[in-house]
A and B are shown apart, each in its own frame.
Chain A
Amino acid sequence: MTLAYRPGGGVLHRLDPRAKLALQAGFAAAAFAHTTILGLAALTPVAVVVPRLAGASVRDVLGEFRAVAPFLLAAPAVAGLTLGEPWFRIAPAARVALASYRVLLVLLVAATYVYSTPVRDSRAAVRWLLPGKLGAATGIGVALVFRFLPVLQGDLTARRDAVNARLGGERSIRERIRLVAVGGLGRALSRADRLAVALRARCFAWNPTSPPLAYARRDWLATAAAAGLAGTVLV
């Protein structure tokens, strides 16, 4: 399955999205600044507990990032290899392994944001972060990407099935890519045109009403924790 919002009522679900973004940024800064055995050992408990607060487990998150795993594992192996004796050196491999582990911790925390934050909250946070019309356009754009992703995926899958049913699998790879993408692109262009008409018909404006975002005490606490984590960069 793909990494997506999971409804729930845990601590993290109730936090303001801006506080959660600050926490992620603080954690990442701390992990990148203290890539030592001691630093990462201190951050590990946080990274392990946080997914649980969002109603997910560490195993869930690791499953989501299968695609990254080969890179994280290959990098230390390649760093340790040498041309000639002794063929493999432990020290550089260990340093790079530490860097890989740091990425894993950051991924755990970042995935937790996705589990615990609905799209409309993220959109409101984007509008708050970016000023004026830029924020408004980005907010609506982000919401539209969420909405159109499954639709266009469906288009491409249908197109691919159609190409395969007509023995497209026996054509060259260039031709297969072209056939699938032409169909997807044609549909996407006509969907964009219809979307533009629909937006105009509904008085698409620069100043619609966003869901209210309000900072409660727990949000200030989370922000203070984020600032603390970011502050460790200076230590």
Chain B
Amino acid sequence: MQTETDGVELVGDQTVENIARAAVFAALTGAMAYVSFQNPVSPAPVTLQVLGVFLAGLYLGPVWGGASMVLYLIAGGVGAPVFAGGGSGLGTFVAPTGGYLLSYPFAAALTGLVAHGTTELADPRDVGVAKLVAAMVAATVVIYAAGTVGFAIVQRPSLAAAFAPSTLVDAFLVAGAAFIPAEAFKIAAAIGITRSDQLNAA
């Protein structure tokens, strides 16, 4: 690669802040993949990864929230151990749960879009509870739909077989159903987070 020598082009202040936040939220989502709780209603443990997706959408908005999750995927793809169970590498995207991961940028962008609209970012504290719930439920639907389709594609030798209704039902039962109750806890927790007094900077 050639070295550029014709002067330094500084990055604008607002962009620096957004890049820094996007990178830190991507790392936060990765760190949350390591935090798991015992789920009271299903045997699958609850990891907080998806909470990171919600928070990126709520605190960074549709554009930079989505960008943050793209960074998360690229960093994981080239070897940062940010996926569930300390996984990383491009292979994770074609593993059975790859569909879930690939949906995160869309889910974060959708969360931000429903919560903030296309105008300037509001403080998540001032966004109504109904809007927050709608944003995160929409994101959850996107994540599980993509996860189910991804699982079906990876687990069937041909695309035609993957989209057969019976395959999608199987895929949902194996890879999705057990985790859905946990999302309700995360949505509730995320609303509690935006309303917390401990969080003064936002």
Could you tell me which residues of chain A, from 150 to 187, have a CB within 8 Å of some CB in chain B? 151-153, 155-156, 160, 173-178, 180-186
Known: A2-B88, A103-B154, A142-B78. A195 touches B20 (CB 8 A): yes
Q: Is the CB of B1 within 8 A of A124?
A: yes
User: Which residue of the partner chain B has the closest CB to A107?
Assistant: B91
CB within 8 Å for A178 and B189 given contacts A64-B87, A111-B91, A185-B55: yes
**CB-nearest residue of chain A relative to B184?**
A174
Within residues 106 to 142 of chain A, which ones have a CB less than 8 A from any CB in chain B? 106-111, 113-114, 117, 119, 122-128, 137-138, 140-142
A79, B84: Cα distance in complex, Å: 25
Q: How far is the CB of A115 from chain B (nearest CB, A)?
A: 9
CB of A87 closer than 8 Å to a CB of B: no
Q: Would you call A193 and B86 a contact (CB within 8 A)?
A: no
Q: How large is the interface on A (under 10, 10 to 19, 20 to 34, 35 or more residues)?
A: 35 or more
CB distance A203 to B10 under 8 Å? yes
Interface of B is mostly: helix
Q: Would A184 and B31 be within 8 Å (CB), given that A71-B96, A107-B91, A142-B74 are in contact?
A: yes
B21 within 8 A of A: yes
Instruction: From the candidates B9, B19, B30, name the one contacting A141 in the complex (CB within 8 A).
Output: B19
Q: Which 8 A-B pairs have the closest CB atoms?
A: A110-B91, A67-B85, A2-B86, A144-B23, A122-B78, A148-B27, A2-B81, A145-B75
Known interface pairs A36-B157, A189-B21, A213-B1; 5 further A-B residue pairs with C-beta atoms within 8 A, sorted by A's residue number:
A103-B95, A107-B92, A141-B19, A152-B31, A182-B196
Chain B residues within CB distance 8 Å of chain A: 1, 3-4, 8-11, 13, 15-17, 19-28, 30-32, 34-35, 37-40, 46, 48, 51, 55, 59, 70-72, 74-75, 78-82, 84-92, 94-97, 151, 154-157, 161, 170, 173-175, 185-186, 188-190, 192-193, 196, 198-199, 201-202
Query: Can you list 9 A-B pairs with a CB-CB distance of less than 8 A?
Result: A4-B79, A119-B79, A127-B1, A152-B28, A174-B188, A177-B48, A186-B201, A192-B24, A199-B20
